[in-house]
Chain A
Amino acid sequence: MNIKKFGSIVAAATAISLLAGGVSATAANAATPAPQFYLMDGGDGSRLPDGKVMAWDDQVIASPGPEFADIDTPFVGQSDATSVGYFITTPGTENTLASWTATADGGFTPGTHNILQPNLSLSGFIGGNWASIKANGGTYSLGFAWVKNNGLTIANSGVKFVTITVQPGGAWTFANQAPVASNPPVVASAPLNTLTKGAAFSQTISATGTAPITWAVTAGALPAGLTLEASTGKISGTPSAAGAYGFTLTATNADGSDDQAFSGSVTVPAGAANANKTLQAWAWSDPTNLGQVTTDANGDATVDVSSLPSGTTHTIALTQPGDSTFAILAWGTVTLAGKAPATDDVDLKAAVTASDLWSLNAEKTQVDFGNVARDQSATKALGKVTVVDDRNVLKGWNLGASWTAFSNGSGDEIPTSALTLAPKAYQGYTLIDGVTLGSGTTIAQSSAVSTLPTGALFDADLTFKAPKDAKVGEYHSTLTVTLTSK
């Protein structure tokens, strides 16, 4: 009885056993190291092609991703950083500011500690010994860093750099940065040729994909007497035993792997009791009528199993046509080679980030009420007061104001009650939910909501009323705006 992959199966009238072929999981693709940032054209934002020879004054910017759409994504920094340094330096000295060969200053996106599109053009380095780099060339790290401590210390967000090679005179190239296309192996879905006990056999299984590809049996076992050549996929030898077989070959390269199940049987002697009969064929496990078949003189029948799913094992049974009792005359199992239905898990991940900003800024440094006649009032705006609460852990806050008595330097004082404060939102700003205006000496308060890095903007009308009996002269007070976390 011959059992062939895919289209047909021959089931013996006598019971035979077939081995189920295993299916292995596909290994994850091997990771290709990505650069710490990508060098993009400073004019159109496109990624610089690998191998491009740059002029010293060509404009380049850094981007966290390789595509044009990535250039508007900033490099996110932490709040301990106070400034940005660009550098060209000897490899290995990136984290030592004092060792940087050439330097330039950068800046954060206002209100953040993030760096957007840092311009790393070599002609823009105005500090350090850039002239030596240009004159003598060499291999350097080109990058930028979050720094603190007046530019003396690398901040928590660290450094990012890529390797460049400068030629004497200033032309330069950079380490390859084009993403390498993943090309994992795909095993050709060719059936294994017929195996006959005692007959020499040789067949090479092929696969597409980036070389080198290695081969291994990852489930089941090769038919006895055959061996696999791991470097070529060649299966060869002389089958030493009759019987069913089932095994899975896995092809692997640097980008991933693919597997293919093979199964079948070698020729099995069959009795003649059922020779030359018309019988009903069934797929057993999931009852499927496979039609009628006719056995040959040896009792072998060819059953078309093309309608059955591949990649799994089926039981094939033969009964007398019209037998309502389904008395089985012969049966066998077969594993149809091919890709098994596979599932895989995709981890979904979304990291909520915050700028971790917590700041207060009152724009004006002085409010002048001008001349105020006795028993008269003057009102002036405090000016924009910006509260930024985008801390990682939001707690809410109170924004208050206090002020000292007005004094004229000659010992005369106007009490604090001469000044009143009426909070309001800064012109053009709409209060967000959770933030409310206060009264008295409270300008505003907030529940645990984020102002985002743009902040909440307040103002207040300050009204100064000169006491009826105040001595004439110039009086001064100091108003303190205080932001207190809840």
Chain B
Amino acid sequence: MKLNKLVALGAACGIAIAGVGVATSASAEPVSNSYSLVGSDTLQDSMNAIINGTTITGATVRVTSNNKTLGNFDAFGSAAIQTKPTGAFFGRPAGSGAGVTALRASITGANYSGNAAVPARQITGQVDIARSSSGPGGNANANGLLAYIPYARDAVGFAYKGGDGSWANLSAAQLKGIYECTITQVGGVTVKPRIPQSGSGTRNFFLGAIGNPTLGSCVTDATGTTPENDASVLGDNELIPFSVANWISQANGATGINTTTASGVSLGSAVSGQAPFTGTAPNLVPNSAYYSDATFGRDTYLVVEYARITPSDAKYDAALANLVNPGVNNSLTSFGSLSSSVGAVKKKFGFLAPSSTNIQRAYATL
């Protein structure tokens, strides 16, 4: 009895061969016949697993809604997406902020343009849930029209390439100085700060955590399109904010693509005395002490229109309300412990239970 497996070998004598042979195909994005989700890159992989079905916990886990499948759309991919049957193609919301903006446009009927390649157009009813890796922040409002519902607990650190041993632990003050370009060397090595694109929830949270620096001129991609949670974008002696959960999920093989094995990259700690995770890949485990840090730990959220989950409102949608109700078993925001639970999948993707299940309202007007 023989089993064969072929591996293609390529070598160039003096001529470069482009491409890497182990790239993973992009996630399929079928049109949803119920609810659609857009937004944060940080949350997209765990939600792809939960929504499209996974056996990563040993049991099959898939969240549906009233016998219908959900559509979870990545933050990056084709320029335009279509979320509902016969719905408009519109610019792919690339990150938490863009996701919330798209949700607001879906509610108000305002034109939405996800990116320059796609003309702005109405997307009424095309987005039901926005993934957000940060809370409402300054948009919080007790009578807000959007509801931020805790999804899971993440933490933020930074990925770096090169440097020296001291780069593994950098304080918030050091990081602020680095991003203000007042600190140009760490451990005797010149440091170049990188930053994800402006719609990134990880970017916004990270900058807040290190003291809201005014980005200096050394941050050359401050207005660029650098994707978040992609360690492969780093050049030598560069660092960039990174979701710890995303690092863990990549390193553990939970996601389709693993950038943590890019040459020379590591995940640094911004919490004194605490490593972001324990163990070695592919068995990294979140360090709860790091995640619980008030500055660099963060709850992540799913955002929906508040009226649609309010039973007394004419717009109330019981199925959507159940789908995002942390108290409902197998909802997107639940966090059970059984192998067949949504929470077990989130843990595989490096998340812990959120610090609270309380809804925060935001945006007095949309």
Contact = CB atoms under 8 A, between A and B. Distances in A.
Interface string A267-283: 00000000000000000
Contact of A367 (B9, B15, B282): B9
Contacts of A119: 59-62, 330, 340
B11 interface: yes
A292 B14 CA distance: 118
A126 B69 CA distance: 7
Give the size range of A's interface with the partner: 35 or more
A472 B13 contact: yes
Interface residues of B, number: 48
Interface in B1-59: 1-17, 19-22, 53-56, 58-59
Contacts of B339: 72, 116-117
Contacts of A428: 280-282
B8 A109 contact: no
Contacts of A322: none
Contacts of A42: 329-330, 336, 338, 340-341
A462 B19 CA distance: 19
A470 B13 contact: yes
Contacts of A474: 10-13, 15, 17
Contacts of A481: 4-7
Given A363-B22, A480-B6, A466 B13 contact: yes
A48 to B, nearest CB: 12
Given A42-B330, A42-B340, A473-B15, A365 B8 contact: yes
Contact of B68 (A116, A126, A369): A126
A367 B22 CA distance: 9
Contact of A484 (B1, B12, B334, B338): B1
A136 B22 CA distance: 50
A105 B58 contact: no
A22 interface: no
A485 B1 contact: yes
Contact of A123 (B13, B14, B59, B66): B66
B64 interface: yes
A366 interface: yes
Contact of A368 (B19, B54, B322): B19
B272 interface: no
B13 A372 contact: yes
B67 interface: yes
A228 interface: no
Contacts of B14: 371, 373-374, 472-473
A123 B64 contact: yes
B223 to A, nearest CB: 34
A360 interface: yes
Contacts of B19: 368
A480 B4 contact: yes
A84 interface: yes
Interface in A94-136: 105-110, 115-119, 121-126, 130-131, 134
Given A119-B62, A371-B12, A383-B22, A358 B55 contact: no
Given A371-B15, A470-B13, A366 B338 contact: no
A366 B21 CA distance: 5
Given A130-B67, A368-B21, A483 B3 contact: yes
Contacts of A58: 329
A477 B9 contact: yes
B322 to A, nearest CB: 7
A71 B336 CA distance: 14
Contact of B22 (A57, A59, A365, A476): A365
A360 B280 CA distance: 25
A171 interface: no
A383 B10 CA distance: 14
16 contacts: A43-B334, A43-B338, A58-B329, A72-B339, A105-B53, A124-B67, A126-B64, A358-B3, A362-B6, A365-B22, A366-B8, A366-B10, A383-B7, A472-B13, A475-B11, A481-B6
Interface of A: 41-45, 56-59, 61, 71-72, 74, 84, 105-110, 115-119, 121-126, 130-131, 134, 358-374, 378, 382-383, 385, 403, 406, 414, 419, 428, 462, 464, 466, 470-485
Q: Please provide the 9 A-B residue pairs with the shortest distance between their CB atoms, ordered closest to farther.
A: A366-B21, A43-B329, A117-B340, A59-B329, A360-B3, A369-B11, A107-B55, A117-B59, A362-B5
Given A369-B10, A476-B11, 17 more contacts: A42-B341, A43-B330, A57-B322, A108-B55, A110-B55, A115-B60, A119-B61, A119-B340, A124-B62, A364-B21, A367-B8, A367-B21, A374-B13, A472-B14, A472-B15, A473-B15, A474-B13
